[in-house]
């Protein structure tokens, strides 16, 4: 019960890693709020996780977080654990990148992540923890991944600055960076035809020393650790959950 009597907000908590983390937070005692774009998966999460409250919001919409923050402010008055997890992917050749696709991805994965975190800060204080979902793509040079990787590299730099600025307030900031994980995100790559997804999956697996995709729960366990008091002397790190994809290549 690491999160007993704590308030947690999971951005992008209606599927994949975010949903697994929301379940873990709830099972360990937290009052959990989530956001997401899909009303059906949000409703399913509310049905599945006792006490959870779900709000429809797009992280690219800078005003989209206002309703959930207003409710948290009224009901608990604070956020103890913030998990900024929402994101979209894309695989596209450098020569085919357009400003529109670039902005679509960065508006969520980098710009949206920063301003979402900024908006939540007034509800956070000493003992608070922010965990941000990065990616091994921030470090790994993978063909076709220029837009996504550059956004995640920016996110890693952003988290480092947040960590150094917020440490005086007693707020820790860390990144959890998944490798290839079997989540709905793999089916939502901007500009990629659905018929290409299985080929992408096989390419990803070929680069994993464990020879498999990871599961959302495996990343969620790392996120829960970083969010908890067990990680009370840890801030500013990037924890890779990638089956050895970076370390053992």
User: Which residues have CB under 8 Å from 112's CB, separation 6+?
Assistant: 58, 59, 60, 61, 62, 86
Tens digit of each residue's pLDDT, the chain (249 residues): 999 999 999 999 999 999 999 999 999 999 999 999 999 999 999 999 999 999 999 999 999 999 999 999 999 999 999 999 999 888 899 999 999 999 999 999 999 999 999 999 999 999 999 999 999 989 888 888 899 999 999 999 999 999 999 999 999 999 999 988 887 766 666 556 666 777 777 877 888 889 898 999 999 999 999 999 999 999 999 999 999 988 776
Domains of the chain: 7-241 (3.40.50.720)
Q: Is 174 helix (H, G, I), strand (E, B) or coil?
A: strand
Q: Is 33 labeled as catalytic in the residue annotation?
A: no
Angle between the N-to-C axes of helices 146-166 and 99-106, in degrees from 0 to 180, rounded to the nearest 10: 30
Exactly one of 148, 185, 220, 245 is catalytic; name it. Answer: 148
Ramachandran region, residue 211 (left: φ > 0; alpha: ψ -120 to 50; beta: rest)? left
Would you say 148 and 92 are in contact if contact means Cβ atoms under 8 Å apart?
A: no
């Amino acid at each position: 019960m690491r999160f007993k009597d704590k308030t947690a907000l999971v951005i992008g908590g209606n599927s994949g890693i975010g949903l697994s983390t929301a379940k873990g937070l709830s099972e360990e005692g937290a009052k959990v709020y989530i956001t997401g774009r899909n009303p059906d998966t949000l409703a399913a999460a509310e049905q599945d996780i006792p006490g959870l409250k779900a709000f429809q919001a797009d992280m690219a919409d800078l005003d989209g977080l206002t309703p959930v923050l207003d409710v948290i402010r009224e009901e608990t008055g604070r956020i103890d654990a913030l998990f900024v997890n929402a994101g979209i992917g894309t695989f596209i050749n450098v020569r085919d990148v357009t400003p529109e696709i670039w902005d679509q991805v960065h508006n969520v994965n980098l710009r949206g992540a920063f301003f979402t975190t900024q908006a939540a800060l007034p509800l956070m204080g000493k003992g608070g923890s922010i965990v941000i979902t990065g990616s091994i793509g921030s470090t790994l040079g993978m063909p076709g991944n220029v837009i996504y990787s550059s956004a995640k590299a920016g996110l890693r730099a952003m988290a480092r600055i947040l960590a150094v600025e917020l440490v005086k307030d007693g707020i820790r900031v860390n990144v959890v960076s998944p490798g290839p994980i079997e989540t709905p995100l793999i089916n939502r790559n901007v500009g990629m035809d659905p018929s290409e997804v299985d080929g992408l999956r096989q390419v990803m697996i070929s680069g994993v020393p464990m020879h498999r995709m990871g599961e959302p729960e495996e990343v969620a366990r790392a996120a829960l650790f970083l969010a908890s008091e067990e990680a009370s002397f840890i801030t500013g790190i990037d924890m890779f959950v990638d089956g050895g994809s970076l370390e053992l290549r």
